Structure 1
Amino acid sequence: MQTDCDRFFVLTGGPGSGKTTLIEALRAAGYRSSVEAGRVIIQDHMAISGPGLPWNDPALFAELMLSWEMRSHAIAMQETGPVFFDRGVPDVIGYLRLTGLPVPAHIEKAAEAFRYNRKVFVLPPWPEIFHQDAERKQDLDEARRTYEAMVETYAEYGYELITVPPAPVQERLSFVLAKAGF
C-alpha cells in the first residue's frame, strides 16, 4: 500500500472551507480525484432512512467513512498520475477525536497503512463562504474545531501541512498545483 502514495494528495480541513469546490476545479483541470465520503454517506443514509448518520450513530458513521476512504485509496492505486483526495483516512481519526469517541486500533492501523503524499493541503475556516445545508449541520464553531482536529491528526501522523489561503478558486487551484509540483 505504501509503494505509490507520493502521487496521492489530500485536501482536508473543516466543513464549508471550499475543499469540494477546489476538488471540482482540480477535476475540471484534468486531475483525478476522490469524492468526499461523509457527504455521500449522509445523502445515501438519508435516502434510505439508514442508521449511518453522524447525528444518530457517530461510531457507525466513522466506520463507513473508513471503508469509503480505504476503497478510494485502492481505486487510486489502479490509476496513473496524481490523485487528489477530498479527505483521507486520518480524517476519520480527527472526526472520532472531535466527537469524543475512542479511536479503535484498526483505524489507527489504517492511518499508518493507507498513506498519502507527505504534503497535505489544509483549508482553514472561511466564514465568508461557510453555510449549512441538509448534509452539513455543523455550525462555524464546529467547523473551526474540525479544522483544528485535522491539523493535529495529520501532523501526528507525520504529514507536512500546507495551508491553502482563502482566495478565488482559480488562485487556490494554482497554489495547490504549484505546491504539489505541477
Structure 2
Amino acid sequence: MRRHILTGAPGAGKTTIADRLARTGRTVVAEAATDLIRTAQAAGDPRPWTDPGFCEATAALQRDRRHDADRLPGPDQYFDRSPVCTLALARFLGHPVGPVLAAELDRAAADYAPTVLFVDLLDTLTPTAVRRISLPEARAFAQVHLDAYTEYGFQIARIPAGTEADRTALALRLTRP
C-alpha cells in the first residue's frame, strides 16, 4: 500500500482534490486539523489552533487515522496532510513539538510515499471560520511546508493552479506506479 500526501497552504485546493479523488473511488483520509478545529469551534472555542497543545492533538488524530487507514481498500491512499504538515503548523504558530508529533515525524519517511503532492495556491483565498489566514500569510505558510518536507527528505511534486479536474488528473499521474 502506498500512502500519498496532499499538502500546501490553507485554501490551495487540497481538500477539493481529495474530495474528487474520493468520488473516483480512491481511498482518502481527511485532514485532522480541520476536524479538530470544527469540533472545538462547535464547543465554543473560536481559535483552537492558538492552544499550544493543538499540534499534539492533531498529530495524535493523524496517527489514529493512519492506523485506521490500514483497514481501508485499495493499493493507494491519499492523505489530506501529514505529520510534516503539523510540524509546519507548529513552526508557523510558534508551538512546541511534543512527543506524539516527534514520534510521528520519526516514522514519516517510512510511512508515506517519498514524493509529496504540493498543491500550489490559487490567486485568491476565501477565509472561512476554520481558515482565517490572508493570502500573504498563506504564501509564507506554504514556504514553511516546503522547507519542512525538504528537511525530512521528501521530494516535492507541484500541482499548479488550474481546474479541479486538471489538478486531480495530475495528482493521479504523479502517483501512478
Confirm whether residue 20 of structure 1 aligns to residue 15 of structure 2: yes
- Aligned counterpart, 2:67: 74
- Aligned counterpart, 2:165: 170
Confirm whether residue 137 of structure 1 aligns to residue 129 of structure 2: no
Following superposition, the deviation at residue 51 of structure 1 comes to 8.8
Give me the whole-angstrom Cα distance separating, in 1, the residues matched to 2:36 and 2:101.
18
- Aligned counterpart, 1:84: 78
Structure 1 regions of 5+ residues with no counterpart? none
- Aligned counterpart, 2:89: 95
Secondary structure of the corresponding residue to residue 11 of structure 2: coil
- Aligned counterpart, 1:62: 55
Following superposition, the deviation at residue 105 of structure 1 comes to 4.9
- Aligned counterpart, 2:48: 53
- Aligned counterpart, 2:4: 9
- Aligned counterpart, 1:118: 114
Following superposition, the deviation at residue 49 of structure 1 comes to 2.2
Q: How many residues align?
A: 174
Following superposition, the deviation at residue 118 of structure 1 comes to 0.5
C-alpha contact 1:62 1:92 (8 A) present in aligned 2: yes
C-alpha contact 1:52 1:61 (8 A) present in aligned 2: no
- Aligned counterpart, 1:108: 102
Q: TM-score when scaled to structure 1?
A: 0.89
Give me the whole-angstrom Cα distance separating, in 1, the residues matched to 2:45 and 2:103.
27
Q: TM-score when scaled to structure 2?
A: 0.91
What is the letter of the counterpart of residue 151 of structure 1? L
What is the letter of the counterpart of residue 96 of structure 2? P
Structure 1 stretches of 4+ with a deviation exceeding 4 A read none
Give me the whole-angstrom Cα distance separating, in 2, the residues matched to 1:156 and 1:105.
19
Structure 2 regions of 5+ residues with no counterpart? none
Give me the whole-angstrom Cα distance separating, in 1, the residues matched to 2:139 and 2:66.
27
Sequence identity, in percent?
Answer: 25
State the Cα deviation string for residues 34-87 of structure 1 (Å, max 9, x = none): 1111211111111112598013x1x22111111111011111222232110000
